């Protein structure tokens, strides 16, 4: 048997952990809530079951929002988690996932689910939540990076799709088809043949359909008359009438209980179908959102591509600008050097002009004397 250990509790949730040792040696098909070989499938099957459901009061029911976790013992953040909500009753005392995870992954040592031939499963019962509220499916250790919002959406709506598929493939539960009965006061005086025939006709009309409360008195009157009839009935008819009449109150009480329970069942089924319709609508909207996100991602990629081109042009411009600045700085430095050289050359030119003026005067005097 798998070991059941009770984990932490708080006012809004209860967590239970199953540690199943020697998992591969289990030969029975079903172990508590675990189907080690799969429930007619090549997947590990895990269900949440109401303990001792056969001992609970008649007509019991309980709504539970829960999640089942196949623990990755190497990395809790990669644990396999599925979440759902169900109204547990005597007819549906267990609920879960037939295809929780492929068996090949369970037995793959790289996946971390089966370690030292030990499997760990956690069942966490949560407080009921509004259907539109998205909750984090598991709380990873502090050192594990948190998932992005889109990862959370995908995980949640994948689990929601599995819930929808399970709901649509779950066999419809039909209404029980039973007979109808009731009683009235009998008389000590045997009825006439005419009264017997009238009672037989009334009984036949009452039996033309399933039992209805509005025919109880009429049925009782007919049964009362026929139960004391001395003639007009075959032996088998007399036996059938007496057997029914002897337990009339009990039988009619059963039909009354059935009608009440059937009405409750139809109401709960209607509410369940409404929730299923809401889940399907939300799931379709989720798919539409993913389509929109894909379009935005493409736009973002195109924008980033253009942005990269702009950045490249900007870097080229800045590079050319820096080269221009270097050239300008070289020209500026050369200008200042040349400015100094011009001053020096100008001074030399002035001195040369003065000397040239003296020489020119002497040359002119000499030319005057001899020419």
Are 219 and 206 in contact by the 8 Å Cβ rule? The answer is yes
- Residue written as tokens 């990629």? 301
- Structure confidence by residue, pLDDT tens digits, 255-291: 878 878 888 999 998 999 999 999 999 999 999 999 9
- Structure confidence by residue, pLDDT tens digits, 305-342: 999 999 999 999 999 999 999 999 999 999 999 999 99
Are 49 and 94 in contact by the 8 Å Cβ rule? The answer is yes
The two structure tokens encoding residue 190: 């045997």
The reported pLDDT for the residue numbered 24 is 77
The reported pLDDT for the residue numbered 319 is 92
CATH number of 3-129: 2.60.210.10
Domain boundaries, the chain: 3-129
- Structure confidence by residue, pLDDT tens digits, 70-98: 999 998 888 999 999 888 887 788 888 88
**Helix axis angle, 216-227 relative to 235-246, nearest 10°?**
130
């Amino acid at each position: 048997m798998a070991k059941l250990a009770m984990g932490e509790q708080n006012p809004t949730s209860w967590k239970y952990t199953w540690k199943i040792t020697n998992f591969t040696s289990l030969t029975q098909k079903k172990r508590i809530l675990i189907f080690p070989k799969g429930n007619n499938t090549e997947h590990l099957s895990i269900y949440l079951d109401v303990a001792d459901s056969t001992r609970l009061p008649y007509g019991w029911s309980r709504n539970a929002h829960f999640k089942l976790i196949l623990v990755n013992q190497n990395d809790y953040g990669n644990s396999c988690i599925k979440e759902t909500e169900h109204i547990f009753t005597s007819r549906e005392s267990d609920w879960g996932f037939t295809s929780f995870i492929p068996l090949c992954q369970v037995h793959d040592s790289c996946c971390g689910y089966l370690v030292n031939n030990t499997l760990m499963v956690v069942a966490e019962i949560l407080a009921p939540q509004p259907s539109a509220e998205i909750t984090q499916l598991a709380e990873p250790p502090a050192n594990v990076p948190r998932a992005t919002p889109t990862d959370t959406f995908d995980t949640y709506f994948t689990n929601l799709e599995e819930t929808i598929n399970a709901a649509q493939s779950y066999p419809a539960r039909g209404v029980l088809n039973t007979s109808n009965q009731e009683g009235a006061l009998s008389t000590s005086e045997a009825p006439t043949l005419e009264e017997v025939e009238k009672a037989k006709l009334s009984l036949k009309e009452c039996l033309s359909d399933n039992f209805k409360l509005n025919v109880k008195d009429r049925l009782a009157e007919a049964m009362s008359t026929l139960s004391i009839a001395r003639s007009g009935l075959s032996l088998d008819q007399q036996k059938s009438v007496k057997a029914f009449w002897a337990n009339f109150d009990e039988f009619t009480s059963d039909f009354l209980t059935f009608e009440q329970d059937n009405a409750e069942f139809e109401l709960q089924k209607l509410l369940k179908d409404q929730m299923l319709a809401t889940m399907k609508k939300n799931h379709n909207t989720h798919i539409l959102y993913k389509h929109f996100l894909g379009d935005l991602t493409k736009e973002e990629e195109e924008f980033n591509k253009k942005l990269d081109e702009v950045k490249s042009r900007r870097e080229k411009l800045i590079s050319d600008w820096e080269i221009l600045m270097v050239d300008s700085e070289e020209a500026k430095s050369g200008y200042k050097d040349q400015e100094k050289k011009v001053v020096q050359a100008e001074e030399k030119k002035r001195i040369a002009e003065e000397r040239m003026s003296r020489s020119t005067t002497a040359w002119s005097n000499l030319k005057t004397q001899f020419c």
